[in-house]
Amino acid sequence: MKAIFNSRIINSSDSIIQTDNRAFCYGDGLFETIVTGDRRINLIEKHLGRLQRGCQVMGIEFPPNLAHISIEKEINELREVNQIEGDTRTKLLLWRNSGGLYTPSASEASYYLEVKPSESQIFQDLQRAGFSEDFNTQYSPISFAKTTNALTYVLAGREKQSRGLDDIILTDSQGNLSETHISNLFWIKNKEVFTPKIASGCVEGIMRNTIISLLAEFETQVTEVMEKKEVLAEADSVFATNASGIKYFRQIDDWSYEDPENFLKDIITRLQHP
């Protein structure tokens, strides 16, 4: 497979990470996962916007060739050279160039781009979820972004796997609902929609913000809240969103939920027909 490193096409098997790489040594980097396709809404510009905000917080110079048009061109170039058809899952990694220890001596960045086929559906169900017993999110000035220091989510994923769950929900250190280990969280009660505040330490998901904006267009306000997990016992439906789309829960612990497809049908249509 071919990939792109700093706008240059390489083999994905090429060694580009040195032992002094700051993302490898310190988690001093960011990433974005972007799912694109002919029948999907194009959110590339929004992903790059979050990446640029993350760079500002971290004091990393945003590479000028990571403009929306350039990245879209590079994605299409890799699709063609790798003969990928249908939806594409793009991984964009960016890290501060080497130098320094905990205090970096550089602000310039490098980036790596790879694409793979994606078979993720815009809307699908998850059978069973639960709450993490061991791991919490924590708000910080950079917690809105996806950083290469994702250990909390990795360990929560292992907990999910060991408990035989389809997804796992994290709370913050005060017990407030935050997100799942890979998605933002929403719930519906009496036709009202709620989602955790960014202050809970959740990632400020691109699909999260898109869903909030689309619901507002259809005159449904999303209320951002700080609530304990017990509020989900009274919810009619619970769903999660990430770059792939929307996944709804049939069950969380002993609580069962309705399929929200009818409630979200206009949103699903917009996501599939940009």
Per-residue pLDDT at 63: 94
Per-residue pLDDT at 254: 95
Per-residue pLDDT at 13: 85
CATH node for 2-117: 3.30.470.10
d(CA 111, CA 101) in angstroms, rounded, equals 20
Q: Where are the domains of the chain?
A: 2-117, 123-272
pLDDT tens-place string over residues 50-59: 999 999 999 9
**Mean pLDDT, the chain cut into blocks of 10 residues (274 residues total):** 93 86 96 94 96 98 90 94 94 96 95 94 94 97 97 98 97 98 98 98 98 96 97 98 97 97 96 80
> pTM above 0.75?
yes
Give me the architecture of the 123-272 domain, per CATH.
Alpha-Beta Barrel (3.20)
d(CA 272, CA 23) in angstroms, rounded, equals 35
Instruction: Compute CA 138 distance to the chain's CA centroid, rounded to the nearest angstrom.
Output: 16
Per-residue pLDDT at 18: 87
Element (H, E) at 242: strand 237-242
3-state secondary structure of 131: strand
d(CA 149, CA 236) in angstroms, rounded, equals 35
d(CA 204, CA 144) in angstroms, rounded, equals 5
Same fold: 2-117 with 123-272: no
Comparing CA positions, the residue from 197, 186, 274, 271 lying closest to residue 236 is 186
